[in-house]
Amino acid sequence: MIAVDTNILVYAHRRDTDWHQAAAACVEELAESARTWVIPWPCIHEFLAIVTHPRIYRPPSTLQEACGQVEAWSESPSLQILGEGVGHWPQLQKIIVSAQVTGPKIHDARVAAICQSHGVSELWTADRDFSRFGQLNVRNPLL
């Protein structure tokens, strides 16, 4: 099962990014496949915050466009959206202590803990910070 991180989602959505075509093709391939793929809820939250932020994109995506994109991904019958479950805290604590994560990197640890607890085999991301979570297989599909 492949999980998709925020940056891949942002690039797939925003046509004005250098990685748009590659990211859109990756997400489209997952969405059209019969193989289960996942997006962690925190990545959807972060996606919405980034693409609608007027200091990040000029012009930013409208809320309607951003929500419409999430709706479009949600229509993929092979997509599951994952969140924290029972036992999340022990998993998160183990990850943040072993990787010595603090500050903003706690968000990445949260995504990693969700992926690990749901049996995700690979996380697609362009963020090298996920390499600190050795139990999670991380791949940048854009390279």
pLDDT tens-digit profile, the chain (143 residues) = 999 999 999 999 999 999 999 999 999 999 999 999 999 999 999 999 999 999 999 999 999 999 999 999 999 999 999 999 999 999 999 999 999 999 999 999 999 999 999 999 999 999 988 988 878 899 999 99
- Residue 31 is part of which domain span? 2-139
- The two three-digit tokens of residue 117, written as one number: 């607890």
- Note the pTM of the prediction, 2 decimals: 0.95
The pLDDT score that the predictor gives to residue 42 is: 98
Q: Taking the chain, what is the end-to-end CA distance rounded to the nearest angstrom?
A: 20
CA distance 7 to 95: 21
Residue 72: CATH number of its domain: 3.40.50.1010
Number of domains in the chain: 1
CA distance 123 to 88: 18
CA distance 78 to 34: 6
